[in-house]
Amino acid sequence: MIQKYDFLVIGGGIAGMCYALSVANSGKGKVALVCKTTLDEANTAKAQGGVAAVTNLAVDNFEKHINDTMVAGDYISDLDAVKHVVCNAPKAINALVNWGVNFDKNNNGEYDLHREGGHSDFRILHHADDTGFEIQRGLMEAVRQNNNITVLENHYAVEIITQHHLGVQVTRRTNNIECFGAYILNPTTQKVDTFLSKVTLLATGGVGALYSTTSNPVIATGDGIAMAYRAKATVKDMEFVQFHPTVLYNPAETHPAFLITEAMRGYGAVLKLPNGNEFMHKYDERLSLAPRDIVLGPSTTK
Ligand SMILES: Cc1cc2nc3c(=O)[nH]c(=O)nc-3n(C[C@H](O)[C@H](O)[C@H](O)COP(=O)(O)OP(=O)(O)OC[C@H]3O[C@@H](n4cnc5c(N)ncnc54)[C@H](O)[C@@H]3O)c2cc1C
């Protein structure tokens, strides 16, 4: 079967749903949003701590947030990308709020901002300790109510369509590779349908579930990256994987492993080896409060 849309969004986490809502609301056309399981199963729904954005310009500013981000990234982050994300974060937060996402406020009606490791100021917006769940909930409601968006759950994208599928040879050196949509497995019919679209967005999340122990749900298998790579796109920066350094390790447990939030260490929890000895003094003067990359280094090599 062939289905035609103006926009094909593959992935129903925060990235896919925000894009779908943006284009659907701007009247640019009909959107198909596909996800390989149910719409509520995404990394987005698992996020706990909150989202960093400069929302109180009386005490905070973009320069500080940019600097904090560069320090946390050991100065290897792309400065233009960091500036773009930091400076557009307040706008993105407003969009989430307008689509129905709630962030906690204090008695004065201002956002109740938290501070987390690596941030020089209070700038973490949150919803209790289930921020991601609230974001997923709010966006799912907005998406389901939008007449321009068709949600297709349990639809598994397997390949994006390029000139290659019209018999043209495409290599990694071809510089005008075009995407015409995707082949998507319909689990009910057990057939692969052709979805044609003017614009296709891959928003399939990360690769965390490839690791034997991970805080990520099972959907995080890097499908979009693999599809893009097979379509001869250039894939870069694959060595950058963000890890939660502390989870409850249970070899018998299936994904995801229960996250032991870093807030625990903020409240005094101490990292120890299986024999009960502390070890962080060998690596960083901040001890158990050292940032993720430092904590992960020794804890994976010991
Ligand atoms: C336990 C945990 C805690 C976290 N805490 C925080 C936090 O406090 N703050 C923060 O900023 N970030 C946090 N994160 C990270 C954050 O959740 C992710 O970076 C973010 O949600 C990624 O969103 P996404 O839309 O890119 O992908 P996801 O939310 O993972 O969505 C991916 C979507 O792609 C779909 N998909 C994948 N493959 C296919 C396919 N082949 N066909 C069709 N659909 C497909 C999936 O079904 C899913 O709908 C946390 C993550 C975890 C796991």
Displacement of CA 74 from its chain's centroid (Å): 21
Q: Which protein residue has the closest C-alpha to ligand 1 atom 11?
A: 51
Q: Which protein residue has the closest C-alpha to ligand 1 atom 4?
A: 47
Residues of the chain with pLDDT under 50: 300-302
Structure tokens at 90: 């307040």
CATH number of domain containing 116: 3.50.50.60
Judge whether 245 lies within some domain: no
Judge whether 271 lies within some domain: no
Atom of ligand 1 nearest to the CA of 50: 8
Q: Are 219 and 36 in contact (CB under 8 A)?
A: yes
Judge whether 125 lies within some domain: yes
Judge whether 62 lies within some domain: yes
- The Å distance, Cα 114 to ligand 1 centre, comes to 22
The span from the CA of 144 to the CA of 69, in Å, is: 35
Give the pLDDT score at 298. Answer: 56
Which of 236, 210, 211 lies closest to 223 in space, CA to CA?
A: 210
Give the pLDDT score at 301. Answer: 41
Q: Are 140 and 21 in contact (CB under 8 A)?
A: no
- The Å distance, Cα 133 to ligand 1 centre, comes to 11
The span from the CA of 248 to the CA of 251, in Å, is: 10
The span from the CA of 134 to the CA of 20, in Å, is: 18
What residues flank ligand 1, with Cβ below 6 Å?
10-16, 34-37, 42-44, 46-51, 132, 156-157, 203-205, 215-216, 219-220, 223, 259
Judge whether 251 lies within some domain: no
- The Å distance, Cα 108 to ligand 1 centre, comes to 32
> In this structure, which amino acid lies at residue 31?
V
Give the pLDDT score at 199. Answer: 98
Which of 267, 272, 268, 250 lies closest to 259 in space, CA to CA?
A: 250
Catalytic machinery residues: 292
Residue 267: CB atoms within 10 Å: 8
Judge whether 201 lies within some domain: yes
Cross-strand bridge partners of residue 196: 4, 181
- Give the DSSP per-residue string, 37-64: S-TT-SHHHH--S-EE----TTT--HHH
Judge whether 180 lies within some domain: yes
Residue 252: CB atoms within 10 Å: 4
Judge whether 258 lies within some domain: no
Residue 133's domain spans which residues? 2-230
Number of domains comprising the chain: 1
Convert the pLDDT of each residue in 145-163 to its tens digit.
999 999 999 999 999 999 9
